[in-house]
Amino acid sequence: MLRTTLSGFPELLPSDRLTELAILDSLRATFECHGFAPLETRAVETLESLAKKGETSKEVYGITRLNAEHGAKDAELGLHFDLTVPFARYVVENAGHLTFPFKRYQIQKVWRGERPQEGRYREFTQADIDVVGQDALPAHYETDLPLVMAEALGALNIGPVVIQVNNRRVCQGFYEALGIADIAGTLRMIDKLDKIGPEAVERGLVDDVGLNTSQADRALRLAEITGTEAAEVEDAVRALDVRGELLDIGLAELGAVLTEAGAQHPGAVRAVLKIARGLDYYTGSVYETLLVGHEDLGSIGGGGRYDSLATSGKRTFPGVGISIGVTRLLTRVLQMHRATRSVPTCVLVAVTSEEERARSNRAAAALRARGIPTDVAPKAAKFGKQIRHADRLGIPYVLFPGENTELKDIRTGEQYAIDVHTWTPPQADLTAVDLSEYRAEQA
Amino acid sequence: MLRTTLSGFPELLPSDRLTELAILDSLRATFECHGFAPLETRAVETLESLAKKGETSKEVYGITRLNAEHGAKDAELGLHFDLTVPFARYVVENAGHLTFPFKRYQIQKVWRGERPQEGRYREFTQADIDVVGQDALPAHYETDLPLVMAEALGALNIGPVVIQVNNRRVCQGFYEALGIADIAGTLRMIDKLDKIGPEAVERGLVDDVGLNTSQADRALRLAEITGTEAAEVEDAVRALDVRGELLDIGLAELGAVLTEAGAQHPGAVRAVLKIARGLDYYTGSVYETLLVGHEDLGSIGGGGRYDSLATSGKRTFPGVGISIGVTRLLTRVLQMHRATRSVPTCVLVAVTSEEERARSNRAAAALRARGIPTDVAPKAAKFGKQIRHADRLGIPYVLFPGENTELKDIRTGEQYAIDVHTWTPPQADLTAVDLSEYRAEQA
């Protein structure tokens, strides 16, 4: 499936790449249908730009010209480790050429020098949507973006998708009202709940972050709260008997997302107050994406609102974005929507003799003119051998050109006369991957 | 157009990225229609693998984990500088899972640490098609591949495309029969003809490569030969009065390509005997691609037959491939097929008041359900302001939802009642880029 001859750098066999392309095409279609503009940024950023988010600097791959001229003054560069930092840089550089709010999607490889392990790669594909405003950004985008991602993931037909949402202001307001000094440290410890469990987190909050037991207890009880109704979530938080202005603002924002998302797409968005997201730049809503039935995969992506990631002197570009890890997603999609063949080819045209290859080429051209992916047999071998070649590749039809052109469906063995200028295969045979159909991966 | 805030690393504005995507989609459609399987290889290769082609090692970007653990034994890695070397490595590694002849296309970024200059970038996109056999590869692929690339480029509607072809065996056989010792050096000097002119090449052949004046003169006269008919080219070579077995083989192979290509696609392929291609691994046909009317752009790509690039012990995987530089091509496509807008959006749904945003969202969802890219106005501003927002983005239609839903074509000012559940825009308005139409770039 995912082949890694170099640890951390997976590659796909052609049939699985066909499935990956079907996923990418489907994501792109949803994003474009919602008006997100396509964007691609260079793979490299200056180390200075990458280092702005300190805690991930350990994961950066630096690049150097191996035979740079003596004394060459190249900028110090590294490969991007996400698509948010490059996007923020791009927006600041090109603000004069963009219309705000600017909605873009971006599907690219990213690189992280992490220790490779199950489900973690050093090179993988991310698909991001973001919207940024100039100086201000309407709050409704904090509802719109998770709903677009839920729709995009829903179109992949891999089962229900839940976008888990929290709001940084709820946590921060709650912690501040409790008198907790180290907000970031508390968030980082709470973020480990799924990995190390509540007892270890509580110990960490007390021993490492410096909370007293009462603070730690209430932080943990906040993290247990979950729900899809604004009132239900607010009541549960209020029951913890903590009051503060920032907490009120956060609860109002979170409630608005739940209410609006629930009206548009019931069940797609759920408040889960343990969601913290490690990155420091989020300031409002934060998201994590779960595939129902694939919880063991963990979060397949996340995002949130950031108000000061992109700034240029007097201007700020507040944004909200959500990203998914396509490579991690692919491992599950392959279990449900395997390609029926390892080539795009729908018809293989047989060759009677090398002298008559031109006739086979003409028949192939006639089919291609109507958009039917067609190949011509590599050699004028015995027909049985040419049919076996098609069979090995999973090509459904073999065409025998001639005065009486005949087509064989090699799945059924049926063979009949056709006219290459009018015949068209059933829609289902035109493409190698159909995301609307379940087709399990073979061992 | 191409924006380079970091020298050598161009980026596009969204409207130009829409055009680039239209090019990539079109190339991919042609390749898949001819049965080429999609492939993507990792961005990195081991330095050992990259160094096999010695003369390009100076262009390689090495990558290192900036904060690798002390004593970590990571493989020495670099970014790939083309897609042929990674493909050859992939074929050897995965031969047991592939069916041969294996046809693949690959569209990816490549990186070269060259000095940036007009039309040369350090990061750019290549589109390659290759076919490799196991132990043997039928000769007809040396005709098929340039014709597929000519068809793919023709579909971009940027004017006539000529694939210039030569055969290494013609040059090598001719040089050997003349008693020239340094074949590779002679090829490399001949390759400079367009850059430095015949006088300088002749001096170089004598002074640097060690030819005598008679050898240099005949090598230059061979390089002047061009034609589309096999007999015409063969006669011109024979007139130089050089004879040899390898030369005969080369002329027969070149003649076969000209004859078969001429029958299938007259004018697409032309023999140009000065074409040498710098890379040492070509063994038969070599190609360079010219856009007629854009000769100043130089070759936008090339390729050829290679018999021993990929080997694994006892097995060899001879191949033939042709590659084009998409980034260079894009600069010309943008002059002829500019996007009509900077977003995929066809319809902007106006918002009467923030309280009624849900109504606008429902109208947008109805349009999207039929594949019409639709956005909702960012704010419930005055209608004039919402229309100006659409206008700035180039969105052709603004929809006013309500009891009497109306649609305004903001190009004509026309406004009429529609039903969001049935209305469909003209096909030409559905996409931002139409490669079949000419639309010149603005200053």
Q: Coil, strand or helix: which one is A130?
A: strand
pLDDT digits (tens, 9 = 90+) for A129-174: 999 999 999 999 999 999 999 999 999 999 899 999 999 999 999 9
| Residue with tokens 């909370």, as numbered in its chain | A211
**Structural element, H or E, at residue B288:** strand B285-291
A19 CA to chain B: closest CA distance, Å? 10
Enumerate the residues of chain B whose CB falls inside 8 A of the CB of residue A20.
Answer: 40
Rounded to an integer, what distance in angstroms lies between the CA atom of residue A274 and that of residue A255? Answer: 16
pLDDT category of residue A294 using cuts at 50, 70 and 90: confident
Query: The tokens of A96 are what?
Result: 């004069």
CB B292 within 8 A of CB B162: yes
Whole-number mean pLDDT of chain A?
92
Given this model, what pLDDT does residue A443 score?
37
Picking from A147, A117, A138, the residue whose alpha carbon sits closest to that of residue A328 is: A117
Pick the residue of A343, A374, A376 with the most B CBs within 10 A to test the interface with B by mutation.
A343
Is A57 close to B63, i.e. CB distance below 8 A? no
Rounded to an integer, what distance in angstroms lies between the CA atom of residue A140 and that of residue A132? Answer: 12
Lowest-confidence range among A38-52, A113-127, A346-360?
A113-127
pLDDT of A429 above 80? yes
Given this model, what pLDDT does residue B442 score?
46
**Structural element, H or E, at residue A38:** strand A37-38
Is A61 close to B58, i.e. CB distance below 8 A? no
User: Which runs of E-coded beta strand occur in A186-300?
Assistant: 226-227, 269-272, 285-291
> What are the start-end ranges of the H helices in B309-423?
326-336, 357-368, 383-393
CB B300 within 8 A of CB B291: yes
Residues forming beta bridges with residue A120, ordered by sequence position: A117
Lowest-confidence range among A72-76, A85-89, A103-107, B201-205?
A72-76
Indicate the DSSP class of residue B378.
S
Q: Is any Cβ of chain A less than 8 angstroms from the Cβ of B370?
A: no
CB B42 within 8 A of CB A6: yes
Rounded to an integer, what distance in angstroms lies between the CA atom of residue A382 and that of residue A387? Answer: 9
The C-alpha angle with vertex B106 and arms to B135 and B339, in degrees rounded to 5, equals 155
Given this model, what pLDDT does residue A279 score?
66
Residue of B nearest to A111 (CA): B43
Measure Cα distances from B215 to B179, B194, B277, B440 in Å: 8, 20, 21, 49
How many residues does this entry show for chain A?
443
Q: Coil, strand or helix: which one is A181?
A: coil
Given this model, what pLDDT does residue A241 score?
94
Q: Coil, strand or helix: which one is B294?
A: coil
Measured from the Cβ of residue B183, the count of other Cβ atoms closer than 10 Å reads: 16
Measure Cα distances from B27 to A395, B33, B105, B159, B272 in Å: 22, 10, 10, 15, 25
User: Which runs of E-coded beta strand occur in A248-368?
Assistant: 269-272, 285-291, 301-306, 311-312, 315-316, 319-325, 347-349
Is B343 close to A103, i.e. CB distance below 8 A? yes
CB A351 within 8 A of CB A401: no
Query: The tokens of B180 are what?
Result: 């020239």
Q: Is any Cβ of chain B less than 8 angstroms from the Cβ of A368?
A: yes
A316 CA to chain B: closest CA distance, Å? 18
Q: ipTM value, please give it.
A: 0.94
Residues forming beta bridges with residue B78, ordered by sequence position: B45, B62
Nearest by CB to residue B99, choosing from A79, A260, A392, is A392
Please list the pLDDT of chain B residue by residue as tens digits (443 residues).
678 889 899 999 999 999 999 999 999 999 999 999 999 999 999 998 888 764 555 589 999 998 777 777 777 999 999 999 999 999 999 999 999 999 999 999 999 988 877 778 999 999 999 999 999 999 999 999 999 999 999 999 998 999 999 999 999 999 999 999 999 999 999 989 988 999 999 999 999 999 999 999 999 999 999 999 999 999 999 999 999 999 999 999 999 999 999 999 999 999 999 998 766 789 999 999 999 988 888 889 899 999 988 788 889 999 999 999 998 899 888 888 889 999 999 999 999 999 999 999 999 999 999 999 999 999 999 999 999 999 999 999 999 999 899 999 999 999 999 999 999 999 999 999 988 877 655 43
